[in-house]
Structure 1
Amino acid sequence: MLSGVPTLRGGLHTVAVMTTRLVGRTDELSALLAHTASEPPGAVLVTGEAGVGKTRLLDELADRLRGAAAIVLRGSAVEGGGPYRPLVRALVGAAPPSLAGSPSLGPHAAVLARLLPGWPPLPPVRAADLVDPVVVLGEAVRVLLQVIAGERRAVLMLDDLHWADRDTLDLLAYLCAGAAPVPLVLAARDDERGPAELVTVGRHAGRQLLRPLDEAGVAVLAAERAGAPVAPETVAYLFAASGGLPLLVAELTAGLVQSGGLRREGGVWRPDGPVQARVPGAFTRLVAGRVRGLATPVRVLVRTAALLGDDLDWRFVATATAQDDPAAGLRAAVDAGLFRTGDTDALRWRHALTRAAVLEDLTPPERAELTRQTVSHLKDAALTGAQRAVAADLCARAGERSRAAGLLLDHGREHLAAGALVAAGDVLASAAAFVDDGTEQAAEVAVERLRVLGLRALTDDALALGEQVLPGLPVDGAARIRLQLARACVAAERWEAAGLHLAAAAPAGSAEHLALAANVALGRHDVDGALRLAADAVAAGRREGTPEAVCEALEITGRVRRSSDAAASRAAFTEAARLAAEHRLVPWQVRALAELATHDVYGAGDLGRLREARQLAAGAGMPGTALIMELQLVAAGTSIDGHVATLPLARRCADTATRLRLPGPAAHALVFVARGQYWGGDTAGASATLEEYLRQSPDPIAAESARAAYRCWDAWLSHDGRRAAGELSRTVQALRASAVSRPAPLWGYWALLSTVVHPDDPAPLAELRGSDALVQVANRAALQYGDAVLAARAGARERSRGLVEAADASLAGHNHERLFLRSLMIGPDGAAAAFDAEVLLREALTRWEPAGEVRLVRWCRERLRMLGLPVPRPARDRATVPPRLRALGVTGRELEVLRLVAGGATNVDIAARLHVSTRTAETHVSSLLAKTGSTARAELAGWLPVLAP
């Protein structure tokens, strides 16, 4: 007998249920080993009918991989196991809560709390602040797999996916579609209809079909199980009875030996009489015999476990049977070959067919009575997760509909909190089937279902559900439904429908109602009404003690006041941020900080608050919001370092937005990618990216302005200022057609360049002077530079010089924007207001050449030649920047700063060493943080190893 191996005892014989060598799967195993070593990593789906040996094949594969020092992440789905269960099982051992602090995980650590027990929990997040949670988790799992693998070989293996929930399969489809950083080996049955999402997974994965064993394979496996060869007539029976399924071959062999149906003669097992049993009857009788041979408490335990499901916490089984000490009974069931143990808390049936056989042996009255007893034992139990779903099913079978609905409602809320929206919707729909129409419980279930539909952006479905459940609801319940419907319509910008639902959601004086009404008014362009309703919402929210509604109303106030009253706008956002921080409303705090950061960027260009808001959003599991802020950092970075320097970050944003399935931000990021390519000299790449942007952009105005802008810069780089100004006029004309204020720097470029080439036309500067575009610092500087051009032409040299200096001061730290705007001031004759064109062009060359601004460098050199001035030799400092850093857009000067930061220098120290201002040193450090993706100065030192020869 093998030590520690359960045995089957019966008659005169004992047979060990041992793990044997893999039989008949040499080719399949070789193919899977090759798959796990392939590059780039891919996915393979192993399929076959129940009992064909998928799990045994994965066991052997895992053993081989571990023998080669690979990390094997193994999990499996179980029937009714709940969302993400196989992934949790695979990851939990390799990702302890202490890993949440890993800098490599960054913002994904908080998101992973939806999956992994013990990780720091996420704060509550509103629907409007989320993107598709499946994709968010997919990104988080992708990064986690990278962190777990490190430099080692790792494989993710997930079994029994025919039982996986739809959220898990959606996430796996995302990983299989090219996002997974490690090989995936998946397995599922193909002899029964699985979820439709499993088909999607299969489309992205290679296939490995396992077929039943032939008769020779059956003979080998039977001999392995029996410990000696089996007579040919018995092999023939086993082959016919099992259909070649390894599981049944093993079980039937063990059953024949155990029951005395085989006798050993001359070292060979021979039949002791005729062998005529058939599967599944033979297997069912085999299992039933084992169960009936157990003591009564153990028999009850096993049969109750069959009611409860496939994969069980033994404590749940103990509660359901009211057995205080089930350990001895569980050991007896394991020894009888009914269960196999996993970790310390888990029990699992030897096979799904084992559980089915136990249930099949129960008569209907026995099953009904067992269900009634189990429901009674679970009545006061503290249940969580899938236990609630199991208990709800039993309650429904026992006729306790309201209790079943309550359990499913709580279970649906668990899924909703975990971001498993499909599972939440399915569970809540099941709960709705058990509630009585017109009850408070019906309203509760409907509110949660509407919340799920809102998160999934299924507005039409939400409206249809609302109309379906509203009749007969009590007043309070109907009002809550109407508010949810109004919020869904606001998210979809269906202002009229939102207004109708709000009008029907009496009483109308609650803070939430008023804040939603303010949103609707703003959507209808009723600015005064929006301000009035927002003020009422703030007052009501303070009376009610509903800070979330107050934050929402303050945000509306700040947005409306941004252009007309910047101080009032800042005050509203500041109060919202303070209130959100006080009440730990992290999403609202993020939103308020982001709005304040927009003021900062438009003003002095300070990016500190924007980075703080981005960090907070990422940590709160709001990757969509964090991505928008990342794009704002890209936009701000172009003003500081230029489009070429921010190209790597723009590409990263485009990739992230695409993976997150956010088409709007993805298109917006492509604009910056195209600009970086264009100014970097990659004209073909810029054209291709621009065309991709035009295909994706939902905004025809933005698309038209983008086309015109490229035509403008083509003309200006060809030294045709008049044509360039004409193209910019068409760009601005497109922007004028938008009802939304767009304070882009293009307004300033147009007004300035038009003034340079048409100094007698005052209209461009006059329009800029009276527009909302002046909230953007580049446009304010362009206005001053334009006035300087006119002053110089009028002979007022001192006034012109003063205006230039004032504009330069407002652009302190925005070196690229300053040089670019000043370059626009250089007319065909070389006149450039009150500054020396040669000095400016030489300064521009020293900054733009190491930054890779190929087209601007070429323009500067051509302009110097046109003015009859000497042209400096090309700079060589790009060659000193290592390729990895150069790919991120790091310049030679920034490399000097990086070395000093790594040595512990402060910004004041850097300024003194490099003979620059402290503000310039701060700008260089901020640029390095953005380009490397670092969140703190200390992380920058990690880039120094790339400098080694």
Structure 2
Amino acid sequence: MRTPSPIVVGRATELALLDAALAATAVRRGGVVFLVGEPGIGKSRLAAECAHRAHGRDLAVLTGRSAVDGAGRPFGPLREALASRFRRTGPPTDPALLPYRPLLARLVPEWRTADTPVAVPGGELELGEALLRLLAQLGRPHGCLLVLEDLHDADPETVAVVEYLVDNLAELPVLLVATLRPDPGPAREMVRAAERRRCAAVAELRPLAPAEVRRLIAGCLDTPAGQVPEAVAEQLTADADGNPYLVEELLGALVGAGALRRSAHGWQVFGELGTVPTASLPASIVRSYGRRIAALDPRLRELLLVAACLGPRFAMDTVQLVTGFTERRMFDLLRAAAEASFLLPDPGAPGWYAFRHALTAEALLATLPPLERVVVARHAAAELERADPALPGERCRLAADLLLLAEDRPGAARHFAEAGRRALAAGAVASAVALLQRAHQLAAEPDRVVVGCALVEALAEAGRLDQALALAATVAQDADVDRLVAVHTRLAWAAVTAERTQEAASQAAAVRELLGDRATPEQRAALAVVEAELALLPGPGERSERLAESERLARLAVETAQRIPLPVVACQALQLLAVLARDRDFDEADAHLERMLAIAEQHDLPSWRVEALQRLGVNASMRTGTPELLEHARQAALRIGAVVLTQNTDAVLAMNAVLCAQWATARETADRALAATARLRNLTAHRYLLLTEATLAAHQGRRRGMEQALAAFDRSGGGDYYLVPLVLGLCRAFCALLEEDRVRATADLAAARAWEDEHPSVYHLTGRYGLHPLLAVLADTPRSAGAGADSSRAVIPDGPATVLAWNRQFLLLAQAAQLGRDGRTEAATRAVRAAQEVGEPFPTARHLGMRLIGEAALRDGWGEPLRWLRAAEEHFHAQGVGAVARACRTLLRQAGASVSQHRDGRNRIPSQLRSQGVTLREFEVFGLLPEAPTNQSIADRLAISPRTVEKHVASLLAKTASPDRATLCNLAAGLLAQDPPEPA
């Protein structure tokens, strides 16, 4: 018998740590606690006590345990944890979680919908983000506790998701408690790294002290500690070495053998304790289990030994398959095993059972002589294969473990390899690598070569390119030609996507040498896509020649791939052709993307379908300024759970909202994705969003906010990134124009153009094809003073980028300026009207254009400059962009036109300043203070006297209770960044 203690003994420090962590969730301070210790030291007992206390605080509690769950079913403990919470209630209904339902359905298949693809895009990080959102939603009322036990047995995918949670729980009302042994492995390394980063508390459980062992015994025997027989306390303290589980097991052996019995005078020892062999701890436990199992019914003994071969957790139908027992007999035996304290039904998975402790299964196996253990394991593996030679689901991995226990290394290797291939096909890349590595170690020749090739593919898929290349070099000595071609082609593609040109070229060359003239169409197509991508990377030869070669190879790949068919290769090649075509014709680029979309839909490739929709949406938004197709692409990405593709689309939508002067939408969209892209390490989207934040500030004329956002952008590595021309042209230059600093704007645009000359860019809104030509025309002078004299038109470019709406509005204004200067006034006015129509989606850019062209029209005497300038003045006054509004008013006054003073515009003043009695004129001075200018500088910009500025500054110091001017400037910077002026 076993005598478990009803109380937790000797863990006051650990319980205090857990209590503090539980309390922190109530104030939205998440945390992570790892309980580390040897088997039986009390980790599970502490975790259960933590869950009990969490229930008492009304926290949502989810619990899962790692166990052998099959290579085809990773994330075992996470599946179990979600099932423990949602089995009765069904999937979560919070609308905010709907985008993550497809990803979460990987853990709970019942949550799939009709739109959910079988293979949901995304890896462990995306799934970690989905789980993070779910836990945060569960923790919203009172907090959430996630308990994961035996993390040392977890699959690599689970460890990766847990690491993601560890790094991102701090600001959420979620506590993660996980238990694991101190054994070397991925879980232990993850825990050590988390401890170094100070994002987790690690409690190393020590053995119990002698006094604590006595208290534990007393709890088990339900007697005061002072009444525990001294001999029993001494014996168990020595034999169990402070391990609570072993104390309970050895105590149960003494009671079961009759050496310790309750009498009228309490618990007493009968006979000598030495008659129960416990002198040597491991042997004593084994002998204790040997005696217990020998006394059982033979059929129950058979069931327990077969179950022990299957692991600490097993499915009832698997044991039934191996033993041949009827279902009724199985239930009778399982009930008897539970009554004998060997097994427990798993409440999280109907039909599954677990040993009361992992040591129980180990001890039972140790009772078998080696030969009998081999026979039992071999028979179990044979029965599994006889029932279904395909070994579906978890049985393939289980058969491999059984054959390894049966000392059949080649057989185990074959099953580990098959389990690894299945894991790779299912997207469980980390598990695939682990399984294939194990198979590679065990395999005999020639299986070792075949397994090695599969392992190369898995390593490449996992991004471990250096290991894959090293292994490929050894495999190449013995593999057949076709297998080597596949290996080198896969490595070449991995190297291309990692932009490792030399390795990619080397692998592609190896493929060409192996193939010679014997290449199949499939091999030629796969190689052509690789070489087409390779031709785009920096390398020898003229760029134009490389681009032409890339296009030739991509077209070859498309033709071959569609004929065979190879739909993924076709999509890869068409995507590349669309990128190449944009430099020449957006219609052609869209045609490639439409073909890509059709192939993806025909062959049910949801990720490639979303890719095509997203790229078509980007092209459409640049052509027209409208985001409808991008929104459609985003919804498609959400339906299939493509988190990264959703984030990429959000980044483009946020920038589109900035260009359209939809400030609130831009801010909401950027905020929605910015933190998540950082957590998922989606650097492409994250940098673009940081640039979008800077552009948002720039297009509102807030230089301080722009610089702060650009500093964050630089910290992310953006300063050395291909977004640089957008920083200079779309961001800095535009901000300078809103400050009426045309010299600075022209310099920024020239710098952007110079950068693009050295680094060809894939972006078309950098100013090169719009704003820069307009400023160049406005700064140009006629070649002669006579009427009708032509001005230079060399600065106005031509090409596909000039049809994009953002660029087109500025180019039309540049043409209008030239036409008006040449005296062709009607044509010039028509060009302005066309520019206004094209620029309709972009109100701030359109009115900036009107301010610029209005000045030129006033000077040259054509068009409707007064109407244009008044409209621009109204817009920029409402937006709080004082410099441009004042410039428009100055031009109107110079033309003798009346100017609105907007003296009723107090709603532009932030509420805090209005409550302090700041006037509109004082606020105009206040709005310039973040730059810490001199009084003379302020006077020049506001067209007032320095003495008047001094008076306004003194009034502001008094009304805001600022002790000095520096404090007032800092107040202005902070307040205007947090509370921008309201529209008039």
Normalization by structure 1: what TM-score?
A: 0.83
Do the aligned residues in 1 keep the contact of 2:47 with 2:179 (CA within 8 Å)? no
| The one of 691, 696, 715 aligned to 1:671 | 691
SS at match of 1:545: coil
- 99-108 or 738-747: which moved more? 99-108
Following the alignment from structure 1 to structure 2, what is the Cα–Cα distance between the partners of residues 743 and 703?
Answer: 12
Do the aligned residues in 1 keep the contact of 2:300 with 2:337 (CA within 8 Å)? yes
Q: Does 1:580 align with 2:600?
A: yes
1:160-559 mapped onto 2 (5 Å cutoff): 160-179=150-169, 181-189=172-180, 192-195=183-186, 196-203=189-196, 204-228=199-223, 229-276=227-274, 277-278=278-279, 279-325=281-327, 326-343=330-347, 344-382=350-388, 383-398=391-406, 400=408, 403-435=411-443, 437=445, 442-443=449-450, 445-446=451-452, 448-493=454-499, 494=501, 496-497=505-506, 499-503=508-512, 504-505=514-515, 506-507=518-519, 509-510=521-522, 511-523=525-537, 525=543, 526-559=546-579
Higher gyration radius (CA): 2
Residues 872 and 334 of structure 1, relative CA distance in 2, 3 Å threshold: same
Following the alignment from structure 2 to structure 1, what is the Cα–Cα distance between the partners of residues 905 and 871?
Answer: 12
Residues 751 and 540 of structure 1, relative CA distance in 2, 3 Å threshold: same
- 473-482 or 861-870: which moved more? 861-870
Amino acid at match of 1:515: V
SS at match of 1:657: helix
Do the aligned residues in 1 keep the contact of 2:147 with 2:177 (CA within 8 Å)? yes
Corresponding residue number in structure 1 for 2:982? none
* CA-to-aligned-CA distance 1:896-939 (integer Å, 9 cap, x gap): xxxxxxxxxxxxxxxxxxxxxxxxxxxxxxxxxxxxxxxxxxxx
Normalization by structure 2: what TM-score?
A: 0.80
Residues 840 and 745 of structure 1, relative CA distance in 2, 3 Å threshold: farther
* CA-to-aligned-CA distance 1:131-182 (integer Å, 9 cap, x gap): xx22111111101212333434321112222333333223222211234634
TM-fit CA distance, 1:457? 2.6
Corresponding residue number in structure 2 for 1:120? 112
Residues 759 and 77 of structure 1, relative CA distance in 2, 3 Å threshold: farther
SS at match of 2:147: strand
Residues 437 and 192 of structure 1, relative CA distance in 2, 3 Å threshold: closer
* CA-to-aligned-CA distance 1:179-210 (integer Å, 9 cap, x gap): 46343342434554453223224442113343
TM-fit CA distance, 1:801? 1.4
TM-fit CA distance, 1:227? 3.4
* CA-to-aligned-CA distance 1:477-498 (integer Å, 9 cap, x gap): 2232232123223322325235
Amino acid at match of 1:509: P
TM-fit CA distance, 1:544? 1.5
Do the aligned residues in 2 keep the contact of 1:35 with 1:183 (CA within 8 Å)? no
TM-fit CA distance, 1:784? 0.5
Corresponding residue number in structure 2 for 1:59? 48
Following the alignment from structure 2 to structure 1, what is the Cα–Cα distance between the partners of residues 492 and 404?
Answer: 34
Q: CA RMSD in A?
A: 3.3
- 173-182 or 334-343: which moved more? 173-182
Following the alignment from structure 1 to structure 2, what is the Cα–Cα distance between the partners of residues 849 and 289?
Answer: 92
Amino acid at match of 2:697: Q
SS at match of 2:761: coil
SS at match of 1:312: strand
Following the alignment from structure 1 to structure 2, what is the Cα–Cα distance between the partners of residues 403 and 876?
Answer: 83
Residues 64 and 835 of structure 1, relative CA distance in 2, 3 Å threshold: farther
Do the aligned residues in 2 keep the contact of 1:263 with 1:269 (CA within 8 Å)? yes
Following the alignment from structure 1 to structure 2, what is the Cα–Cα distance between the partners of residues 759 and 84?
Answer: 70
Do the aligned residues in 2 keep the contact of 1:563 with 1:775 (CA within 8 Å)? no
SS at match of 2:98: coil
* CA-to-aligned-CA distance 1:55-108 (integer Å, 9 cap, x gap): 112222212222333211111223687642222211123245952775322332
Following the alignment from structure 2 to structure 1, what is the Cα–Cα distance between the partners of residues 326 and 40?
Answer: 35
Corresponding residue number in structure 2 for 1:910? none
Following the alignment from structure 2 to structure 1, what is the Cα–Cα distance between the partners of residues 415 and 905?
Answer: 71
* CA-to-aligned-CA distance 1:550-584 (integer Å, 9 cap, x gap): 33333333322223233332222112212211221
Do the aligned residues in 2 keep the contact of 1:311 with 1:349 (CA within 8 Å)? yes
TM-fit CA distance, 1:260? 0.7
TM-fit CA distance, 1:788? 0.9
Q: Does 1:87 align with 2:93?
A: no
Do the aligned residues in 2 keep the contact of 1:52 with 1:247 (CA within 8 Å)? yes
Residues 517 and 24 of structure 1, relative CA distance in 2, 3 Å threshold: closer
Corresponding residue number in structure 2 for 1:740? 761
| The one of 791, 812, 822 aligned to 1:794 | 822
Residues 515 and 707 of structure 1, relative CA distance in 2, 3 Å threshold: closer
SS at match of 1:769: coil
User: How many residues end up aligned between the 2 structures?
Assistant: 858
SS at match of 2:96: coil
TM-fit CA distance, 1:787? 0.8
Following the alignment from structure 1 to structure 2, what is the Cα–Cα distance between the partners of residues 839 and 209?
Answer: 77
Q: Does 1:750 align with 2:750?
A: no
1:697-846 mapped onto 2 (5 Å cutoff): 697=718, 699=720, 702-703=723-724, 706=727, 712-713=733-734, 715-747=736-768, 748-760=770-782, 766-827=794-855, 836=864, 839-840=867-868, 843-844=871-872
Do the aligned residues in 2 keep the contact of 1:71 with 1:155 (CA within 8 Å)? yes
Do the aligned residues in 2 keep the contact of 1:371 with 1:397 (CA within 8 Å)? yes
Corresponding residue number in structure 2 for 1:900? none
SS at match of 1:500: helix
Residues 456 and 294 of structure 1, relative CA distance in 2, 3 Å threshold: same
Corresponding residue number in structure 1 for 2:125? 135
Amino acid at match of 1:91: L
Do the aligned residues in 2 keep the contact of 1:712 with 1:727 (CA within 8 Å)? yes
Structure 2, unaligned runs of 5 or more: 784-789, 894-898, 912-984
Following the alignment from structure 1 to structure 2, what is the Cα–Cα distance between the partners of residues 125 and 754?
Answer: 53
- 68-77 or 324-333: which moved more? 324-333
Following the alignment from structure 1 to structure 2, what is the Cα–Cα distance between the partners of residues 557 and 27?
Answer: 63
Residues 235 and 18 of structure 1, relative CA distance in 2, 3 Å threshold: closer
Amino acid at match of 1:619: R
| The one of 591, 605, 622 aligned to 2:611 | 591
Following the alignment from structure 1 to structure 2, what is the Cα–Cα distance between the partners of residues 316 and 875?
Answer: 78
TM-fit CA distance, 1:507? 0.7
Residues 297 and 844 of structure 1, relative CA distance in 2, 3 Å threshold: farther
